Every structure is written in C-alpha cells, then in structure tokens.
Chains A and B, each alone.
Chain A
Amino acid sequence: MTMSLEEESRLLYGMLFSLKSFSNRISPLDVQEGVQCYTTNKYKMTLFETPTSLKFVCNTDVNAPGVNEMLQKLYTQVYVEYVIRNPECKPAEPITSELFKAKLDETVRMSPAFSSKAA
C-alpha cells in the first residue's frame, strides 16, 4: 500500500496528536515526558519532542538501537545548526535547505540504527 508523503505525514500528525492528548488525560501531572515511542509487529515509532513542541519522528525496524539519541542529535546538531542559525530558513515554514538535507542524511547514516539494519 502506498500513499503520498503529504498524506502520510497528516496521518502521523493526527495520530501523534491523539496519543499526546490521551497521555495527557491519563497522566495529567507528568508534563515532562509524554509519549516517546510505540512498537507494532512491523515497526517502531520513536518520537522526540522539544520543549518548543518541535517533534522529531522516526519509524524504524522493531529492534533498531539508539534512535532517540539520533533524534536528539538531529535537533541539537542539525536542526539548530542549519535551520535556526540560517536566516534564510523561516520558523514554521517547510525546510528547503539542501545543506540541512545533506547533514540530516549524514547523521542518520552514522547512527547505529542505520548500520544495524545492514548487518
């Protein structure tokens, strides 16, 4: 089954939003952690959310290691470095920077989650 990238991200966002409000309802006092990942038979979804509500999501193989660390690295070393510090990139607009793309790719390739799949 295939779907467009836009459709997939809309579905993902909708689900994350529901999961988040669900977790807020059943655990209203714990505002810090929230939903971090879930696993199905087929794949694992890992979510890293910053205090500014930026969400970094990665769907991986069920056993992929170090995904959360990779997402944090994506935030601190790629997003902040190449989007926030780039005056051409406006906040809350789709990121079009090629440099960002390249660095993102590099970071993901270096992650243990990526190499363990090949092994």
Chain B
Amino acid sequence: MGLKSNLHSLKEKYRGTKMAPAFNALHTFLYAPNETTHSGSHIRVVDDLKRTMNTVIMALVPCLIFGMFNAGYQHHLALGEIGRADGFFSAIFWSWDNLVIGLWKVLPLVIVSYGVGLAIEFLFAVIKGHEVEEGYLVTGMLVPLIVPIDTPLWMLGVAVAFGVVIGKEVFGGTGMNILNPALTIRAFLFFAYPTWMSGDKVWVHGAVARDKAIAAGQNVDAISGETVLGSLAQNHEPSYSVAEMFFGMIPGSVGETSTMLILLGALFLIFTKIGSWRIIVSTVAGALTMGLIFNFVVAQGWISESSKFFGLMNTTWWHHLLIGGFAFGAVYMATDPVTGSQTNIGKWYYGFFIGFISILIRVFNPAYPEGVMLAILLMNVFAPTIDHYVVQGNVKKRMKRLKVKTA
C-alpha cells in the first residue's frame, strides 16, 4: 500500500493547484481513489470505462514494444546486415539498432493515430455538448498495431478520421457503434489503398523505398518481406520455423506477429475479467475446426496440389493460430464489449463464427490472404441478431415452463 498512500497524499498536497489533474490522472490510472461518495449510491465498482481501457492498453504494451524491435529486426534482416535470431531472448533481436528503427517508424504511427482520433473526439464532444469519452484510448493504440510498418502517415490520418466519424460518431459515439472502430479504420485503409496494405513490400520497413530506388535506376537489391500467409497463398513453403512464428519474429503488421505476447495479453485480460474468455476460446475453436476441415479435404485428396488454395489448405491446422493477425484479432478485437455479443451463449456462437469465417476467408480469398478483419466486422454486424435469438430462446423456454406449471 506504500505507493498508493503516497500517491494519495501527493494528490491531497496538490489539490486545487494547476498540477492537480496530472496527479489525479496518475492516481486513478493506477488505483481506485479512496474518496467516498457524499450522496446517492455509495457502493460503486472501480472498473469504470477508464480502468477498462487502461487495462487493455497495458495488455497491448508488450505487443507494441515487441513490434518496435521486430520492425528494426525485419529491416536489418532483409538488408542482410544481421543474421537470424536464434531464440526469443537472442541479442540479435533485442538490439539497440532495432529499437531505434522501431521507435522511428512506430511512434509516428501512434502519435498520428491518437492525434487525429482524439481531435475528432474533442470536436464532436464540443459540438454535441458532452464530456470527452475515453472510447478512443484503446482504438488509438490498436490502430498502429494492425497496420503495416511503412503506412504513410497521411493515409493513416485519413483512415482514422473516416473510422472515427463513420464507424463511431455517426452512431452516437462510444458505446453505440456497431463496428469495431479500429477494424473499420483498417478496412478503410485496405479498400482505399490496397497497394499499401497487401503484397510483399509493405511489411518490412524500407522495401517500398528500395523498390522506388530500383525503379529510378539505382543498382540495389530488391527487398522482399513476404508474410507467412502471403507465401502460403502462393503455394510457397514459408521460410520460418514454428518457434519464430510463435515468438513473432516474422514480417507482418506492427503488433500482430508475436502470438506468445498476445497469449500473455489474453491471460492478463481474462485474469482481470476485461476480455471475455468465452469469445477467445470459441474463436480459437472455430479457427481450429475450419483448419481441421481443410486438412481433412487435403488428406482425402479432394484438392490437387496445383490448386491455388492448396498452400493454405495444407497448413497444419493449429499453425493458423500462429500466423497472420488471427491471434491479435481474437484477443483484442473480437472481445470488444461494445461490438461483440452480450449474452454468454451468444458469445460462444459469435466467437466460433469469427474463427470459422476467418480461416475460410483466409484460404479462399486470393487477393487478401487474411480473413480475421473481415470476419470480425461481419460478426459485429450479426452480434445483435445472435443476442436477440438467445434472449428470445430463453423467453420461450421460460414461457413453456410457465405453461406446464399452470396447466
């Protein structure tokens, strides 16, 4: 309790001064305040919206830090300046050089995401005359983690503006949105600027610039940074080991690569009861089911090796959890309490279909070898319908019971 009482006394000391909000914010960020209410209800839960948001951000921080190191690592690796890291704690990976590149490339993404998003939140709060809502805190952190490292900043700004206005504010702001705002932003980027969101050039910093240099006639080697999914979609065997996929030392969007850290984040979210374990478990189950079905199809010989779907179909069923953005989506996006199903039974269906459809899209969509974004957006739309039928089913069951009793 030492830190807490210290913070409390600091807060008391600065009460009424200009610095007070800073200490207040720090205090409420870390602990529930000691103040008691003077009127109205006296028992309140401490996990308000702000605390919920902060918890998710804390769960995201490891992914962010890993993403920064990975950005530099992939860059230097592709340039041939360093060798492959041989384990999670390899000094090649956790080097100062890698972090510098990561900071240089990732921090601007974070700043633009928060800057544009919060500016719009403030604008709408002023126009509509309500308090600024904390709703953008998590979205603002998710967005830089799910875009490719070389995304131009102005594109990100435009997409954030679109996603916050069309994805959230038109529905009435935080808590009223139908679609996950972070995924709306990513979907906008994907459909508006597909060349920056797919292919083998955007996942490693420097590849696009190198391409331009080659086009301008310079004599340098092209960098290819194909994602695991990208190479599987072209029936190439990916050149990464399972351990590398699990640790996340593979090209991909900034924060989505490390399944291990996402798993830690998931445990943290489940432990703090912020993320629904039902959704996470059922999403994974759905993905595994679809993976097994595809493996079965391959084992039965129903699909020829020359088929363009063979590479992804033949992927060992549980590898689907390690590659692409599946793990990130399942843990941080599908569990969004606003856009997901609200009923416990509904959550099982909701999650299962997300996993199921993710892998389905992943395998059968030739232009875009990743399905989790579209699957979650699709199920966001269906979540209220699922809830409706769960509730109605319950009503029916109880009405029947009532009839039996009265009869």
Whether A associates with B in a native complex is: no
Residues of A that sit less than 8 Å from B by CB: none
A-binding residues in B (CB < 8 A): none
